[in-house]
Structure 1
């Protein structure tokens, strides 16, 4: 069993979250926490759901409205998804670098553009000095 396994009935989840079961029903209607349903239509909550309920209670005690809480939870879920995608891309890049060492190198151009270079080559650096003088009035 892990933290996503939905095992708690509504009364147990409400007790763990320090809430009334009717509050959990309201949050389910609002889409703040969506438990799974059994074939008999009863709700089942996971430890992640209970943690989310506690977060909702904390935000509510700080004066955040239910709509504000919904938006915060939505943004947190979005950030979590982006972080997961970033980890996937980093893993893919690391695998690619391991599978194709020295194939391609990139550098940044003066205008911020990306320049593809062969491995072992260097960019040319400008050795020019620019002097700026403030014009006299």
Structure 2
């Protein structure tokens, strides 16, 4: 009797601890398929000290998505690779946008704090309305 292994996508881990046979069984694929996907760059398993592939639960979820796109949606492997790359790029850009939004919010907060102090927060910088009558002599170097 075959043992069924269930992985929750919400609880996926990045720890590369699953041997190829276990990851293949969890993904419902043949181990040779996982090797092919590794060569194509669809999934990047870690490596054990002896060189064996090690997969994470997140890798297994990705393998299931590859299988779904291939079988259910009819996307070829080159298209799946492009989709995966674009999704990773979108994730990176979202993280970067969130960081920039946090920095912008902090900058606006700092501006508000400085404006709350008064129009001239530094006492040594006092605006003056009188114009200078000083004469500045400038001679070009020869």
The equivalent residue for 2:98 is: 87
User: What is the root-mean-square deviation of aligned Cα atoms in Å?
Assistant: 2.0
Higher fraction of helix: 2
Count of residue pairs brought into register by the alignment: 105
Larger radius of gyration: 2
Does residue 1:52 correspond to 2:66, yes or no? no
Higher relative contact order (CA 8 A, sep 6+): 2
Q: Is the 8 A contact 2:12 2:58 kept in 1?
A: no
Quote how far apart the aligned CAs of 1:103 are: 6.0
Which stretches of structure 1, 4 residues or more, deviate above 3 A after TM superposition?
none
Structure 1 residue 102, shift from structure 2 partner: 6.3
Unaligned runs of 5+ in 2: 1-10, 120-142
- Structure 1 residue 33 corresponds to structure 2 residue 43: yes
Within-5 A mapping of 1:1-137: 3-61=13-71, 62-101=73-112
TM-score w.r.t. structure 1 length?
0.71
1:18 positional shift:
0.8
